[in-house]
Structure 1
Amino acid sequence: MMAHGSDPELTTDFVSTDIKTLDGNFFTFTGFREGLSAGFGETATKTAFVSDFPALQGLGISYALMHFQPGGILALHFHPRGSKLIYVIQGTLTVGFIDSKDKLFNQTLQANDVFVVPRGMVHFMMNLDPQKEVKVIFSFSSANPGIVNLSSKLLLSDMPQLVLQQPLNVV
């Protein structure tokens, strides 16, 4: 048995509660104007998900901007409701994901390269350059792709230690 999930198909041009007073502002997101800042070894992200940008409701798309400072890492995580398209604006980014057969697909991306991570695949990104910042745009195949950070779900939860010791090979 196979199950599929995606954003629902729209039966109207777009979703809005007040079509009479609607103008171009509804379809404009200005949240990236302020830019991003992060310290050495950190990352910073701004999203344009449906929660940030209501015009995305029902459209099945969203967007994010991320900066990786030198040494910045986005640890293992996945998006349960959307595939991710990664576009490198500036710098060199190492990316990778693990498929359902435990095969690692990784790549070092340069500016103007694009990499896709299929929905639900555990993946990571990191800036290995000790001096240069990396700027990246993500687009998602969902207005609300969700994010599950594995380190916080596993290590910071009330998960019994015995359950984690074997798969993580920790005693």
Structure 2
Amino acid sequence: MVIARFWDADITTDFVVPMNYSANKAVDRNFYFDLCNMGNSDYTQTFSTTEASTTNFPALDGQSVSYAFLQFPAGAINPPHTHPRSAKLLLVLKGWLNVGFIDTNNKIYKQTLTAGDMFVFPKGLVHYQSNDDPKQPSTAISAFGSANAGTVSVLLNLFTSGIDDNILARVSKIDVANILKLKIGLTPKA
């Protein structure tokens, strides 16, 4: 019998001490993380996200919370993606964003948010954010109910995962030549 767990494990102590700390070593610094100053100070070209998750902030292990600082240059998009282990609560800090998610009945829920507005994206559903302002950047913070919410990029998963081009062409009704063009456009630049 296989048991699958889709939430953070409960811990039986106040917190989890990272494995690389000895019992004699102070862990006070482990509880501090400067999320906003870790971001891209010159985010004028591409969308960027800075995460505070168990990967780079070990104090979150076992706490079932994490954050991300999102920076949107003018016209930038956080492409369609999902978080399989958590809902996301987005708070716009500066500028405005068009946001939306698609439910399991293929219905879209969308909203235009300005600074101070919040929007919830249900766990596991495909969603996006777009700064449609042609001149001004936007910033936002996302809160998650998991120390590692995970991110699955819809387009990258489809077109850069190694799924056979003929299968992608058949299910998308796009010919293989155009599938190959999509793959080239989505391949990260070296």
- What's the offset of the Cα at 1:88? 0.2
- Alignment partners' CA distance in 2, 1:100 and 1:166: 22
Give identity over the alignment, percent. 37
- Alignment partners' CA distance in 2, 1:34 and 1:118: 27
Q: Does 1:56 align with 2:60?
A: yes
> What is the correspondence of 1:3-152 to structure 2 with a 5 Å cutoff?
5-16=6-17, 17=19, 18=22, 20-36=24-40, 37-40=42-45, 42-152=46-156
Q: Tell me: higher relative CO, structure 1 or 2? Use CA pairs within 8 A at least 6 residues apart.
A: 1
Cα distance change on mapping 1:6 and 1:65 into 2, 3 Å: same
Task: Normalising by structure 2, report the TM-score.
Answer: 0.81
Whichever structure has more helix as a proportion of its residues is 2
Larger radius of gyration: 2
Q: Does 1:158 align with 2:158?
A: no
- What's the offset of the Cα at 1:30? 2.5
- What's the offset of the Cα at 1:23? 4.3
> Over aligned residues, Cα RMSD in angstroms?
1.8
What do residues 40-96 of structure 1 show as CA deviations (whole Å, max 9, x unaligned)?
A: 3x2111110011100000000001101100110111111111111100001110111
What do residues 98-145 of structure 1 show as CA deviations (whole Å, max 9, x unaligned)?
A: 111111111110100000111111111110000110000011111011
What do residues 142-163 of structure 1 show as CA deviations (whole Å, max 9, x unaligned)?
A: 1011111111111123212343
> Any stretches of 5+ residues in structure 1 without a counterpart?
none
How many residue pairs match? The answer is: 168
